[in-house]
Amino acid sequence: MSLFEEAGKKFEEAKRTFVDGKEAEYVCRSCEKPVSENYEYCPHCGEETVEPVA
């Protein structure tokens, strides 16, 4: 992976920690993506691992 691809990936991860201008309150422990609401199943990967951010 090139330096710019790695930097872009890190930037996207940081950007996704905020949802609609506020910090995400939930995260999927399986795929580690932020989730804006307390879903029963993760909208990204479908796993039952959505939990509140501590």
Reported as a single tens digit per residue, the pLDDT across 7-45 is 777 776 666 666 555 667 888 889 888 887 888 899 999
Q: Which sequence spans correspond to the domains of the chain?
A: 3-52
Q: What is the pLDDT of residue 47?
A: 92
For the whole model, what pTM was predicted? 0.53
31/50 Cα distance (integer angstroms): 10
In angstroms, rounded to a whole number, what is the distance separating the alpha carbons of residues 2 and 26?
A: 31
How many Å apart are CA 50 and CA 34, to the nearest integer?
9
